[in-house]
């Protein structure tokens, strides 16, 4: 674990401006200069260990498959007659080898850093892949149709190629560790002796990928000193929420003793809205739980409280899903969008599109694009006045496109640029209020928890009928509950289901004006 102070800045000496506004006009607390410098230092993305090992598995599968085809070309020849069976055999051998290497622990970071241990895992993997292919060929009685030399040549080429690639990767891992390219960034909640003990124990873990970015504590300097084991106290817990909006943090570690149950519950109530892993330090606890309750960094135990949604490969799967379907939708719906743009322009003077600031992922402010549905001179970019039934501001075309949600189609461009997802909690305007003139954050406790994933053009709450005007606090509560259900149960199939039923739910909606 590397030591980090809060003195780092970007090369140009400036931090990227970040605007975070709470509905109702109350800004988040300003960070002190040290915290702001630290947030800027940790504002760039890093490669997580889980992502690295996943990419390595994919690389090694593709490499072993390619080595199978290379061995086929070198020895068996270029005959198309046997190509299908060698394609299948190469696929099976590559897949079996990767699974055996995985079972042998060959994709753990500790193994990747040690040349001898990963060499043994590679040898077991290649031997396992070759053995599975040989057994399969024997049992289907096709041994006369396969070349034994091909299998030996594949084994040799595969092992040598993967070994050389891993030697290069091992060197890069040391370089990335020194330069902060691959790490899990953590913030400690709670200072004092417990935090110091945790830091010392993490520093003793040879293979720790945790990087402490600072400490946040509500207690004064007498009970929680400004510097703990060389790490600065950067502010209060409330300031931590703002810090996590700017810095790219992976984990919050609460170091308070578990006997302080009420204090921990209060902290978690404030912090669960952040899209981060939340862990309790369990090193000083006398309580013992089931083994599955714990996760470890080396020998240091943690209790898993919350896991951030859509991390690593889940995020990649959802992003690929969004790009593929949004691109297809733009092609298919482009005639409808062109006709709508023409009708909006002919119906009333003003621009075709309407831009509005809304809350996006991690409470950051984004600009979303819609077809203009209100008269230009009565436009309301801040959504300070909610649209109601028979609202005189809505144009004739606007009434139809709002009812059918055609006005939302330009947001497909927001999906392409990465500000929105196709499916997710609907983004609300920054200053959105109900028809009772209440800010949304005042109606629902923990309202910002719905921003732990990217907002979407459609969502679970919308297809279940909770869209449109908020004229009753219960409606926003139901929308919020459905948004949380979606976040906690996300899957690609869930997204597909929501997309599939969205057109049908729009036809029977009666609450959108």
Rounded Cα distance between 229 and 421, Å, is 42
| CA distances for 43 relative to 36, 153, 192, 273, angstroms | 10, 47, 27, 19
Task: Answer whether residue 341 is part of any domain.
Answer: yes
Tell me the average pLDDT across 248-254. 88
Task: Answer whether residue 7 is part of any domain.
Answer: no
Which among 440, 420, 422 has a CA at the least distance from the CA of 430? Answer: 440
252 and 231 within one domain: yes
296 and 223 within one domain: yes
End-to-end CA distance of the chain: 55
Domain boundary among 162, 179, 196: 179
Q: What domain range is 420 assigned to? A: 313-507
| CA trace torsion 506, 460, 475, 450 (10° rounding) | -140
Crossing angle of the two packed helices 49-71 and 83-103, in degrees rounded to 10: 150
Tell me the average pLDDT across 138-148. 69
Give the model's pLDDT for residue 62: 95
Residue 389 pLDDT > 80: no
Domain boundary among 153, 179, 205: 179
159 and 93 within one domain: yes
35 and 151 within one domain: no
| CA distances for 488 relative to 433, 463, 494, 503, angstroms | 26, 17, 11, 24
Residue 24: pLDDT band by 50, 70, 90 thresholds? very low
78 and 140 within one domain: yes
- Write down how long the chain is: 513
Task: Answer whether residue 15 is part of any domain.
Answer: no
**For residues 64 and 162, is the Cβ–Cβ distance under 8 A?**
yes
259 and 381 within one domain: no
Task: Answer whether residue 461 is part of any domain.
Answer: yes
CATH number for the domain harbouring residue 276: 3.40.50.20
Tell me the average pLDDT across 363-380. 84
Residue 13 pLDDT > 50: no
| CA trace torsion 102, 106, 110, 116 (10° rounding) | 170
Task: Answer whether residue 513 is part of any domain.
Answer: no
Task: Answer whether residue 14 is part of any domain.
Answer: no
Quick: pLDDT tens for 473-493: 788 888 889 999 999 899 999
Residue 17: pLDDT band by 50, 70, 90 thresholds? very low
Domain boundary among 134, 151, 179: 179
Which among 229, 248, 238 has a CA at the least distance from the CA of 191? Answer: 229
Tell me the average pLDDT across 167-181. 79
Residue carrying structure tokens 């069976």 = 85
145 and 158 within one domain: yes
318 and 450 within one domain: yes
481 and 499 within one domain: yes
Residue 9 pLDDT > 80: no
Give the model's pLDDT for residue 228: 87
153 and 199 within one domain: no
Our count of domains for the chain comes to 3
Give the model's pLDDT for residue 159: 94
| CA distances for 385 relative to 381, 436, 506, 510, angstroms | 10, 10, 23, 20
Q: Give one DSSP letter per residue of 256-293, joined into a string.
A: S-TT-HHHHHHHHHHHTTSSSEEEEE-TT------GGG
283 and 402 within one domain: no
502 and 411 within one domain: yes
Quick: pLDDT tens for 274-317: 888 888 887 655 555 555 567 777 678 888 888 888 887 888 88
């Amino acid at each position: 674990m590397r030591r980090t102070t809060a003195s780092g800045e970007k090369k140009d000496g400036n931090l990227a401006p970040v605007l975070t506004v709470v509905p109702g006009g109350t800004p988040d607390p300003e960070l002190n200069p040290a915290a702001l410098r630290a947030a800027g230092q940790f504002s760039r993305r890093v490669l997580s260990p889980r992502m690295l090992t996943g990419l390595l598995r994919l690389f090694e599968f593709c490499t072993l498959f390619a080595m199978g085809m290379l061995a086929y070309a070198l020895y068996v020849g270029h005959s198309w007659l046997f190509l299908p069976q060698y394609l299948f055999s190469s696929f099976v051998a590559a897949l079996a080898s990767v699974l055996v290497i995985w079972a042998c622990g060959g994709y753990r970071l500790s193994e990747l850093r040690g040349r001898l241990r990963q060499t043994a895992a590679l040898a077991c993997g290649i031997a396992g892949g070759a053995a599975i292919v040989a057994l399969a060929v024997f049992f289907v009685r096709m041994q006369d149709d396969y070349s034994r030399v091909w299998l030996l040549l594949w084994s040799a080429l595969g092992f040598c190629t993967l070994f050389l690639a891993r030697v290069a990767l091992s060197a890069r891992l040391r370089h990335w560790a020194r330069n902060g390219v691959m790490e899990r960034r953590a913030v400690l909640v709670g200072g004092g002796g417990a935090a110091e003990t945790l830091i010392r124990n993490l520093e003793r873990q040879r293979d720790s990928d945790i990087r402490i970015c600072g400490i946040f504590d509500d207690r004064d300097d007498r009970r929680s000193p400004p510097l703990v084991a060389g790490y600065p106290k950067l502010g209060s817990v409330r300031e931590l929420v703002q810090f996590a909006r700017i810095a790219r943090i992976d984990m919050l570690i609460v170091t308070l003793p578990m006997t302080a149950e009420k204090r921990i519950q209060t902290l978690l109530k404030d912090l669960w809205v952040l899209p981060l892993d939340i862990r309790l330090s369990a090193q000083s606890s006398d309580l013992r739980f089931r083994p599955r309750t714990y996760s470890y960094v080396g020998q240091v135990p943690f209790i898993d409280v919350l896991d951030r949604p859509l991390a690593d490969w889940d995020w990649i799967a959802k992003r690929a899903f969004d790009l593929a379907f949004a691109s297809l939708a733009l092609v298919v719906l482009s005639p409808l969008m062109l006709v709508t743009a023409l009708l909006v322009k002919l119906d009333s003077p003003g621009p075709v599109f309407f831009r509005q600031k809304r809350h996006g992922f991690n409470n950051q402010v984004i600009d979303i694009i819609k077809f203009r549905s209100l008269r230009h001179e009565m436009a309301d970019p801040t959504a300070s006045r909610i649209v109601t039934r028979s609202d005189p501001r809505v144009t004739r075309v606007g009434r139809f496109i709002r009812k059918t949600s055609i006005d939302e189609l330009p947001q497909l461009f927001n999906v392409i640029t990465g500000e929105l997802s196709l499916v997710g909690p609907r983004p609300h305007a920054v200053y959105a209020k109900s028809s009772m003139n209440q800010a949304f954050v005042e109606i629902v406790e923990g309202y910002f928890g719905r921003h732990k994933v990217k907002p979407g053009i459609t969502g679970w709450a919308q297809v279940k009928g909770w869209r449109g005007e908020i004229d009753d606090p219960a409606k926003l509560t139901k929308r919020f509950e459905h948004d949380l259900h979606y976040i906690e149960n996300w899957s690609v199939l869930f997204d597909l289901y929501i997309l599939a039923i969205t057109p049908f739910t729009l036809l029977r909606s009666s609450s959108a004006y």
